[in-house]
Amino acid sequence: KKIAVLISGSGTNLQVIIDAILQKKLNAEIKIVISNNKDAYGLVRAEKQGIKNMFISTRDLTCEEYSEKLLEIFNKEEIDFVVLAGFLKILSKDLVMQYKNRIINIHPSLIPSFCGKGYYGIKVHEKAIEYGVKVTGATVHFVDENADTGPIIEQRAVDVDDFDTAKSLQQKVLVIEHEILVSSLKKLCNDELKVIGRRVIKKGDKD
Ligand code: GRF
């Protein structure tokens, strides 16, 4: 399967996908890595791996115009699935519709907690610490036209210890993100997922 990975930052989630493919754990090919941030270290990770990568600025572009550029590239590269790996932009309704249930996102909380507009990066963990939750975690979900609201594919929890800070929590959750992103992508590439309403179930299971 041909995948496109969209990033905005360090690209540790991109890296685990690269590694999983190299270790033959994932039957997919990353055709392109696109970043809306020219300084994203994830672009360096792609370059090192000989993966086609590009910076596309969002400046002077509406959400629709940016998504249109993405769609052109996805069609040219015959992309099957899109992974938002720390990508901090909303995609247009049109793109989401054309790629319905073929775009996945990794979010560093147990959705529907601590998600949506303004909840990204370390902020998510600061809010979790501040709220005093005892467990948090990560979520992989299909992307729909809003932020972090699509059908959930996989979640995994971690304990929040008394001594945890937002930083230490972020590190714990990042490990979980990497695990569930690869396992979700594997199910997607092996066509093992079925979406019924908001529920994502494994094919072959009784509905
Ligand atoms: C991290 O905050 C992660 O939780 C979220 O995006 C951010 C960057 O991740 N998914 P990455 O290291 O760039 O993959």
16 lines ligand 1 (CB under 6 A): no
CA distances from 17 to 66, 145, 167, 180 (A): 24, 24, 23, 11
pLDDT above 70 for 205: no
Q: Whose CA is nearest to atom 5 of ligand 1?
A: 86
The pLDDT assigned to 147 comes to: 87
Place of tokens 């509905």: 207
> Helix, strand or coil for residue 52?
coil
Reading the block at residue 153, the tokens are 């594919």
Q: Is residue 180 within 8 Å of 188, Cβ to Cβ?
A: no
106 lines ligand 1 (CB under 6 A): yes
- Gap between the Cα atoms of 94 and 90, Å rounded: 12
Q: Label residue 116 by pLDDT band (50, 70, 90).
A: very high
The pLDDT assigned to 146 comes to: 87
Catalytic site includes residue 107 = yes
108 lines ligand 1 (CB under 6 A): yes
pLDDT above 90 for 84: yes
Give residue-wise pLDDT tens across range 8-63.
999 999 999 999 999 999 999 999 999 999 999 999 999 999 999 999 999 999 99
Residue 187: left (phi > 0), alpha (psi -120 to 50), or beta?
alpha
- Alpha-carbon 141 to chain mean position: 8
Place of tokens 């590239």: 73
Share of the chain above pLDDT 70, in %: 99
Q: Is residue 187 within 8 Å of 202, Cβ to Cβ?
A: yes
- What's the pTM? 0.95
Amino acid at 145: E
Mean predicted confidence (pLDDT) in 65-90: 97
Torsion of CA 131, 132, 134, 137, to 10 degrees: 40
Average pLDDT over all residues of the chain = 96
pLDDT above 80 for 206: no
**E strand residue ranges, 8-159:** 29-35, 53-55, 81-84, 103-107, 135-142, 152-159
pLDDT above 60 for 113: yes
pLDDT above 90 for 207: no
Q: Whose CA is nearest to atom 2 of ligand 1?
A: 121
The pLDDT assigned to 180 comes to: 98
150 lines ligand 1 (CB under 6 A): no
Q: Which residues contact 5 (CB under 8 A, 6 or more apart)?
A: 14, 17, 30, 32, 33, 34, 42, 46, 82, 83, 85
Give residue-wise pLDDT tens across range 121-178.
999 999 999 999 999 999 999 999 888 999 999 999 999 999 999 999 999 999 999 9
* 132 assigned ligand-binding residue: no
> Count of alpha carbons within 13 Å of 110, Cβ hemisphere only?
12
- Gap between the Cα atoms of 80 and 49, Å rounded: 21
